Structure formats: structure tokens, C-alpha cells
């Protein structure tokens, strides 16, 4: 009746700040979504466990560290192990196109390059959760 | 129809057999007001009533989530499983919410004996406390021994939520301007235990003494409201705090107050459900157009709101049999 989109936003890995993740989190909130923000230094296990408990539609990961080729597959595998493959996984950050291609093949829904306007991310999520 | 019933029954049996996904899913059905979620709650009802429900409220940033994290660690050491509901405000303008309490709960994020759920206040018809209560019951039926409910102590609806707890903690911190004034009227009365968190900071003793004076003035029979100093970030004071929380529960049982509160809660809840049902019945029966037509007449003074309401009630009576 009043289905609200819920999105988990996390910043995995050990590197630096979460400015980008926070900007996206706020934009999603301002578009009417419920954003569960879990903060810095999240492991794949923590991300998937939180996504399950919070029953989110989408996991959005912000990555700068270059660990994307290990972290994303790990998240996807853990989701599978928990029968939660229906949760969509998206990522943002500096990811080379050939890696992005591989990640999409593995089942990552979307990779947003740096500087993607937040409206685009909002729109993409709205369309893909319908 | 039958299919939906089957889905609901499957969710219920999964919850009772310990499936976290089913718990999370039912919580969403409740929050989203999806049809028939109440039949799942009805099935779960016989499995509820065992949990100790603890409300934690206080000003923004006072350290509630950090306290929840540390309290949970201590309850886990004492062999208890823990469910957590962390409520944050929904923007009334966009309907969105940023739910950030998990950031402070990373110590317990992977513990299988813990279940954390973040909740936006949304604009729930029939009150936020009804929804919170429903989520509490799901965690209760799921077998959690302790249920911690975190809310920001600013709005009336948040106060309503903690009223449903068996034990309510009010969190204060030193140096919030003219300290105790930050405690809203109405919040003071619902506190069973006061916590002076961030007592590593200057002014903690002042805050403690001010609280002491205020509580002395509010002296009442029975439970003597304790004040506990904590440093949530380091865990200092957590063990005595949990001891006091447990002794409050014992006090509630020994004095019969637990049973009294239970009866009152069930009555409120039951009447709330009846009211909700009547509300949605009216909304289903009378179209938005019908209502707008009446509103139009009221605006133009062709009709007054009292007579209009009576008309709606009469039309219900005529169609209900
Ligand atoms: N110095 C000090 N800082 C603390 C203590 N407890 C919490 N903090 C810090 O206070 C800040 C807010 O803590 P939270 O636990 O998020 O507070 P909260 O009351 O849950 O905040 P909201 O949910 O936003 O209202 C964080 O930076 C904590 O690390 C404490 O005992 N001492
Ligand atoms: Mg908090």
C-alpha cells in the first residue's frame, strides 16, 4: 500500500572519508527513501547482515580503495548464502570500465562513476525497485 | 486470497524457527501497511510476553546508540539475546529518513544473538507507537529476551513509544546549556532510571546533583529512581547500569506492577486496533470524492462538520448489515 524504498549505504574498506557516501545518502533521503547508513570500515559480512535485518531493497557501496574486485563478489556470495539474492547491489567510485563490466556479469546491478549526479542515482533506484 | 494466507503462514513458521529474513520481511509488511500483516501478528501473539522491553530516550547525540551497543554486549555476557529497534525521525516534507544508529553498533553487528532494526517515524495513521509495538512483538515472538528501543526524546510520539516499555532510561549529558531544562516536561515522569552519559566530560557531577535535586522533589512511593554515571564509549558504568535495569524488572514483578502495566498496555493496544479498524473501514467505504464533497460544503457553510460527521456515521450504519 505504502511501500517505502529502503537502501543500505555503506563505505567498506579501510580508506579515508565517507563524504561521497554521505552525499548520496542525503540525496536518497531527500527523494523520500529510507536510508540505513552504517558508516565507515564495513566488512562484507557486516554489510550483508545489516541488509538482511533491515530488509533493504538496495545495497549501495561506495569504494575508493581498489578492493572492488574482492569486495563486491564477496557481498554477492554472502547474499546468495543467505537466500537474499533479490537485494540489488550497486556501487560507486573509481572503477575501471573493464572491471565494471566483469562486476555487472557477476550480478552487480549498476556501477556509478565518480561525479555521477545524485538525481541519476535516485532515478535508477526508483526505476529498479518498482 | 488463499495464496496470501499461505505466504503469511510461511513467514510465521519461519520466524518461529529462527529465520532472520522472515523477521525482517514481516517488519516491512507492518511498516508499509501491507494487507493482511495483522493475521501474521495474530499467529505470533501466543508466542509473545516473555521479553523485557527497555526504552532509551534522551536528547540528540547524547550517546543513546553507543549505550545500546554496550548494554547489549553486557546482556549477551549474561546469556540474554537482544533485539533492538532504533527509531529516527522521518522528514515530514519528503517522507525520507536517514537512519544512522547502526554506525555506533558495530560491536554487536555480527552477533547472531542480536537483531537490529532501524525505523523511521513515517506518518503512521493510528500512531507510531502502534507500529513500534508491532515490531517489538515480532522480536518478542522471535525469542529475544531483551528488547531495547531507542528514540530521540523530543517529540510527544517518541514519549508515547517509551511509555510502552517495562523499564525506561532517560539519558542526559553534562553541559547542555542550563542542563536539565533539556528534559521536556512529560519525559521526566516516565523515567525509571536516569543516566548521566559522557561523564568523562566536565560538569558531570553538576548534572548528577541537579538530577538528584529534581528527583528528590518528585519523590514518590516505591521505586527510588537511581541515577547512573556512564561513559558509553569506554563501557564505564555499564555493569552497574545493567544490574539496576535487572533489579527494576524484579521490582516490577514483585510489586505486581508488571502485570498491571501489561493489562494497561493490552487495553490501550486493543482499543487502538479497534480505532484503526474503524478508521480504515470509513476510509474504504467513503471515497475521497465523497469526503471532498462534504468538505466543500463545510467550507461554504452549507453544512457544519458535526452534521457532516454524523452523516458519514449514518451511512455506515445503513450499509453495515
Ligand atoms: N566523550 C564521550 N563521548 C561519547 C560518549 N558516549 C557517546 N559519545 C559520542 O557521542 C556521539 C553521539 O553518540 P550516539 O551514540 O550516536 O548518540 P545518540 O544519542 O544515539 O545520537 P542520535 O541517535 O543521533 O540522537 C558519538 O560521537 C559518540 O562517540 C561518552 O560517554 N563520552
Ligand atoms: Mg542514536
C-alpha angle B11-B15-B19 in degrees, rounded to nearest 5: 100
Is pLDDT of B135 > 80?
yes
Mean pLDDT over B1-25 rounds to 89
Sequence-distant (≥ 6) Cβ neighbours of residue B9 within 8 angstroms: B43
Chain B partners within 8 Å of A30 (Cβ): 91, 94, 96
Q: What are the structural domains of chain B? A: 1-47 (no CATH), 48-255 (3.40.50.300), 267-320 (no CATH)
Average pLDDT, chain B: 89
Total structural domains within chain A: 1
CATH code of the domain covering residue A124: 3.40.50.280
**Amino acid A66: pLDDT:** 76
Neighbours of B64 (CB within 10 A): 26
pTM over 0.80: yes
A18 lies in some domain: yes
For chain B, report the end-to-end CA distance as a whole number of angstroms.
23
A1 lies in some domain: no
Is pLDDT of B321 > 80?
no
Mean pLDDT over B190-198 rounds to 93
pLDDT classification of B316: cutoffs 50, 70, 90: confident
Average pLDDT, chain A: 91
Is pLDDT of B183 > 60?
no
pLDDT digits (tens, 9 = 90+) for B227-247: 999 999 999 999 999 999 999
The domain of A121 spans 6-128
A95 lies in some domain: yes
Asked whether the beta carbons of residue B33 and residue A83 sit closer than 8 angstroms, the reply is: no
Is pLDDT of B182 > 60?
no
**Amino acid A95: pLDDT:** 87
**Amino acid B3: pLDDT:** 78
What are the pocket residues of ligand 1 if the criterion is a CB atom closer than 6 Å to any ligand atom?
A: B 60-66, 101, 104, 152, 197-198, 200-201, 231-233
Residue A5 to residues A55, A100, B23, B25: CA-CA distances in angstroms?
10, 25, 18, 13
For chain A, report the end-to-end CA distance as a whole number of angstroms.
13
Sequence-distant (≥ 6) Cβ neighbours of residue B115 within 8 angstroms: A53, B20, B23, B82, B83, B84, B139, B142, B144
Using an 8 Å CB-CB cutoff, list residues of chain B that contact chain A: 20-21, 23-25, 27-28, 31-35, 90-91, 94-100, 102-103, 106, 109-110, 115-118, 120, 122
pLDDT digits (tens, 9 = 90+) for B202-226: 999 998 998 888 887 766 678 999 9
Which segment of A102-111, B48-57, B161-170, B173-182 scores lowest on mean pLDDT?
A: B173-182
Asked whether the beta carbons of residue A53 and residue B115 sit closer than 8 angstroms, the reply is: yes
Task: Choose one of B66, B118, B150 to mutate for the ligand 1 pocket test, by most ligand atoms within 8 angstroms of C-beta.
Answer: B66
Residue B246 near residue B77 (C-beta atoms within 8 A): no
Sequence-distant (≥ 6) Cβ neighbours of residue B161 within 8 angstroms: B55, B87, B128, B129, B132, B149, B151
Amino acid at each position: 500500500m505504502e511501500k517505502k524504498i529502503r537502501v543500505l549505504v555503506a563505505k567498506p574498506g579501510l580508506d579515508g572519508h565517507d563524504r561521497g557516501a554521505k552525499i548520496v545518502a542525503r540525496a536518497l533521503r531527500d527523494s523520500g527513501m529510507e536510508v540505513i547508513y552504517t558508516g565507515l570500515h564495513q566488512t562484507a559480512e557486516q554489510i550483508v547482515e545489516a541488509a538482511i535485518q533491515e530488509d533493504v531493497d538496495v545495497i549501495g557501496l561506495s569504494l575508493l580503495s581498489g578492493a572492488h574486485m574482492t569486495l563486491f563478489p564477496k557481498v554477492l556470495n554472502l547474499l546468495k548464502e543467505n537466500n537474499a539474492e533479490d537485494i540489488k547491489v550497486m556501487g560507486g567510485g573509481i572503477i575501471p570500465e573493464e572491471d565494471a563490466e566483469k562486476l555487472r556479469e557477476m550480478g552487480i546491478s549498476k556501477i556509478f562513476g565518480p561525479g555521477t549526479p545524485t538525481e541519476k542515482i535516485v532515478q535508477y533506484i526508483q526505476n529498479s525497485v518498482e | 486470497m488463499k495464496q496470501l494466507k499461505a505466504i503469511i503462514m510461511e513467514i510465521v513458521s519461519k520466524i518461529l524457527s529462527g529465520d532472520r529474513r522472515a523477521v525482517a520481511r514481516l517488519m516491512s509488511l507492518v511498516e508499509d501497511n501491507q494487507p493482511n500483516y495483522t493475521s501474521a501478528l495474530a499467529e505470533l501473539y501466543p508466542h509473545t510476553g516473555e521479553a523485557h522491553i527497555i526504552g532509551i530516550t534522551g536528547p540528540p547525540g547524547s550517546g543513546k546508540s553507543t549505550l545500546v551497543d554496550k548494554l547489549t554486549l553486557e546482556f549477551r555476557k549474561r546469556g540474554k539475546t537482544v533485539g533492538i529497534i532504533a527509531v529516527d525521525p522521518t522528514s515530514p516534507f519528503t517522507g525520507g529518513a536517514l537512519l544512522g544508529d547502526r554506525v555506533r553498533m558495530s560491536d554487536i553487528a555480527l552477533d547472531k544473538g542480536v537483531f537490529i532494526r532501524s525505523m523511521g517515524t513515517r506518518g503512521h495513521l493510528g500512531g507510531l507507537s502502534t507500529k513500534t509495538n508491532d515490531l517489538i512483538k515480532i522480536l518478542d515472538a522471535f525469542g529475544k529476551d531483551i528488547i531495547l528501543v531507542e528514540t530521540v526524546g523530543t517529540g510527544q510520539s517518541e514519549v508515547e513509544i517509551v511509555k510502552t516499555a517495562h523499564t525506561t532510561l532517560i539519558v542526559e549529558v553534562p553541559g547542555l546549556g542550563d542542563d536539565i531544562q533539556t528534559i521536556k516536561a512529560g519525559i521526566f515522569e516516565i523515567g525509571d532510571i536516569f543516566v548521566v552519559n559522557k561523564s568523562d566530560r566536565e560538569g558531570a557531577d553538576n548534572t548528577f546533583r541537579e538530577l538528584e535535586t529534581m528527583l528528590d522533589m518528585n519523590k514518590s512511593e516505591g521505586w527510588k529512581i537511581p541515577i547512573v554515571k556512564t561513559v558509553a564509549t569506554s563501557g564505564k558504568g555499564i555493569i552497574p547500569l545493567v544490574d539496576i535495569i535487572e533489579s527494576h524488572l524484579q521490582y516490577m514483578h514483585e510489586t505486581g506492577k508488571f502485570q498491571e502495566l501489561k493489562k494497561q498496555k493490552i487495553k490501550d493496544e486493543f482499543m487502538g486496533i479497534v480505532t484503526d479498524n474503524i478508521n480504515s473501514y470509513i476510509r474504504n467505504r467513503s471515497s475521497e470524492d465523497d469526503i471532498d464533497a462534504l468538505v466543500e460544503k463545510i467550507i461554504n457553510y452549507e453544512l457544519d462538520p458535526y452534521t457532516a460527521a454524523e452523516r458519514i456515521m449514518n451511512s455506515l450504519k445503513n450499509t453495515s448489515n
